[in-house]
Structure 1
Amino acid sequence: MLAVVPPARPRKLAKVPFVELADGRLQGVVSSGSDVERVYVSSVAAGTHAYHCSTNNNRPCGGLRGAPCKHLQALADEALIQYGVDRVARYLRVDVGDGLATGRELLALLNGQAEPTPAAVVFSRFLRHLAYLELPACTVTLPELHWFPATGAGR
């Protein structure tokens, strides 16, 4: 049985509805600040620290001008809340010294450069997670969620 790690701290999902440490990257979906119908898929590779940000249909972020954009900063901020500083730093293979408080500080420690990464895999994983919210409430176990901890009765 796979253990589910609870978030380091509760986080709000409006700005960054999806963040994960997967596929050798810190990656996730970040809402646009100017268009409610647009989202960005942002990522930072572990080890190389290559970063990328684009819309869900692979249009590059206009804020990537030789440095990480505000979407990457928001992603890093939420990753620190979700997973904690130590886990994120260990995953990205970066030494944070005495620690850090913000995604901006984390990104300043990275030595990567912009490198295109396809957004489709991360975005489709996000959409799959959203689909679970549309399921009717039931007590029957969903096979694909058998690893998820039970809540409610008996706790």
Structure 2
Amino acid sequence: LHMTVDDSINFFSQGINLADKEHNSERKIIEKLKPLQETGLGYVHLGQSSSTLSGGEAQRVKLAFFLSMGASAAPTLFIFDEPTTGLHFHDIKKLLKAYDALIDKGHSLVVIEHNPEIIKSADWIIDLGPEGGDKGGEIVFEGTPENLVKNEQSYTGKYLKDKIKAKVK
């Protein structure tokens, strides 16, 4: 239980052909752990208490559980609140792939996020502002990331301008 998810997957897949029936136990273990790895949780220890997980990590554990259900789950609306908090850039890309997997299975996502990689990957953005706190709360923009950068009132759009250009190139 001291191994990480990544270490466990490596351990149980060493020197075996997962297609062989004689390695059925190893394959089952790997299949259970893979969704955790695919949502950027490869660094979590198997015996780690859930009370030590951050809010973003706990959300990704739930996401991994849902991904492990496969196509059997009915279309669902997922709401994620800043799931990238504390994530390494490499793991954010894994999270985006997990989001794509949910969308491909017919689910919908609402993500509250400040991370530019997540924002620029969105299909649709609702930008609140113009400021924070009691000077915010108004819809400044609603639309695609490419149109967000054209909005003069959006601080988010100004911040993403160079990142969106890099995406389009």
Work out which structure has the larger RCO, using CA pairs closer than 8 Å and 6 or more positions apart in sequence: 1
Q: Could you state the TM-score of these two structures normalised by the residue count of structure 2?
A: 0.22
Structure with higher helix content: 2
